[in-house]
Amino acid sequence: MTENPKLTKKDFVSNQEVKWCPGCGDYAILSSVQLAMAQLGVQPHNVAVISGIGCSSRFPYYVDSFGMHSIHGRAPAVTSGVKIANPALDVWMITGDGDSLSIGGNHFIHILRRNIDINIVLFNNQIYGLTKGQYSPTSKQGTVTKSSPYGSLDRTFNPAELAMGSGATFYARTMDTDPKHMIETFKAAHAHKGTSLVEVLQNCVIFNDKVHEQYTARATRDDYSVRLEAGKPLVFGKDKNKGLILKGFSLEVVTIGEDGITEADLVVHDPSSRALAQMLADLHAPEKPVAIGVLRQVEEEVYETELVKQMDSVVAKKGKMNIKELINSGETWTV
């Protein structure tokens, strides 16, 4: 018997009944994460899945690993402690647009800033589901909900731009309608050292149905989204005949073959470019294709690795100490 036998998806499925609404995008995300875990060869006992509050945050109950369904918005802080205390763990954080971008906005930006090596899966359905349908920070302005019967007034948060501003070292976007892409994206996030943020465009079938339809539905998504691949030109469209060029300070849509445009004129994707990542983050359908894939990836110092190094260097310099030595050190006197 090998120490770590090859696992399948079912090794990551808990005995708890999944209680999301029928047709919810969350099912596909759960399945994709479980498949990715199996394919990555991680062991359930070394995995910790931490969430906040909201529909998405029930996720840990359904994964047969260590897990914690914490409190609203605080998953990044809990996760930080979990990973710092045991850097050997494979730590995943599950959150939603309300959990991370509203009530937990502060913790969300700071985990990205610190670059703690965890994988964040941000379910973005542009609505509050569990509290039954209020607008969220990612809802479009004017969204009509029970708490905004005349349309929401709040301007919209773009999670990608917020992440870039917070110093995210890995940011990717995927969609609940494309399990294959989700699995590949989760694997890429897992491979990245540092905080990996994956925004999943997820459909809330009850309160915000089809909000991502245009750029996520099989029939139309090729025309309204661009799949990013490092080193490859930004091509999209059902017929692969559209692309993005740099015009001034923004990306403009062109048709290959028209006006003398060839593939060589298109912007080549480079996830290490912050400027490009920010332009990609700012692409909105239907005028422009929504960027899908890894928008940004750079190697930066990882918090817990640096902490271990710092602790080791202090030990190297001062030697290990125990409490007895400490209390008897320095200025003491004997009576």
Partner 1 sequence: MNSTEIDYVTIRFSGDSGDGMQLTGTQFSNTSAMMGNDLSTFPDFPAEIRAPQGTIAGISGFQVNFGAVDIFTHGDEPHALVAMNPAALKANLADIKLGGTIIVNNDAFTELNLKKAGYTSDPLESDEMTKYKLVKANLTSQTIEALKDIDIDKKSKSRCKNFYALGMTYFIYTRDMKPTLKWIEQKFAKYPDLVKANSIALKTGYNFAETIEVINEPYIIKPAAIEPGTYRQINGNTATAWGLMCAAEKAELELFLGSYPITPATDILHELAKFKHLGVKTFQAEDEIAGICSAIGASFSGDLGLTTSSGPGIALKGEALNLAIMLEIPLVVVNVQRGGPSTGLPTKTEQSDLLQALGGRNGDSPMIIVAAKSPSDSFHMAYEAARLSIEHMTPCMLLTDGYIANGSEPWKLPNTDTDYRKIKVQRASESEIVDGKYLPYLRDAKTLVRKWAIPGMKGFEHRVGGLEKQVDTGNVCYEPANHETMTHIRRDKVQNVQNNIPKQEVNGKESGDILLITWGGTYGACHSAMHTLIAEGKNVSHMHISYINPMPSNVGTIINGFKKVIVAELNCGQMKDVINARFNCNASGYNKVQGLPFKIAEIKGMINRELEQL
Interaction site with partner 1 (CB under 8 A)? 14-16, 43-48, 50, 53, 60-61, 63-72, 74, 76-86, 88-89, 106-107, 110, 307, 310-311, 314-315, 318-324, 326-328, 330-335
For residues 274 and 300, give the distance between their C-alpha atoms in angstroms, rounded to a whole number: 13
CA dist 77 and 104 (Å) reads 9
| Alpha carbon distance 204, 188 (integer Å) | 26
CB of residue 193 to partner 1, shortest distance in Å: 19
User: Which run of H or of E encompasses 30?
Assistant: helix 26-40
Q: Which is nearer to partner 1, 50 or 200 (CB)?
A: 50
C-beta closer to partner 1: residue 275 or 315: 315
Spatial distance between the Cα atoms of 241 and 228, rounded to a whole number of angstroms: 15
- The answer to whether residues 41 and 5 touch, using CB atoms and an 8 Å cutoff, is no
Report in angstroms how near the CB of residue 42 gets to partner 1 at its nearest. 12
Residue (22 or 319) nearer to partner 1, CB: 319
3-class DSSP assignment, residue 274: helix
Considering the complex, state which of residue 81 and residue 257 has its C-beta at the smaller distance from partner 1. 81
Which residue, among 277, 127, 310, has the nearest Cα to 205 in the 3D structure?
127
Nearest approach, Cβ of residue 30 and partner 1 (Å): 14
Residues 173, 85: Cα–Cα separation, whole Å: 29
Helices (H), 235-297: 274-281
Nearer to partner 1, 121 or 277 (CB): 121
Beta strands 242-247; 250-255: pairing state: antiparallel
Least distance from partner 1 to the Cβ atom of residue 85, Å = 4
What would the two tokens of residue 78 be? 């809990």
218 or 318: whose CB is closer to partner 1? 318
How long is the chain?
335
Nearer of residues 110 and 193 to partner 1, judged by Cβ: 110
Nearest distance from C-beta of residue 195 to partner 1, angstroms:
14
> Least distance in Å: CB of 138 to partner 1?
22
- Least distance CB 190 / partner 1 (angstroms): 16
Based on its alpha-carbon atoms, the radius of gyration of the chain, rounded to whole angstroms, reads 22
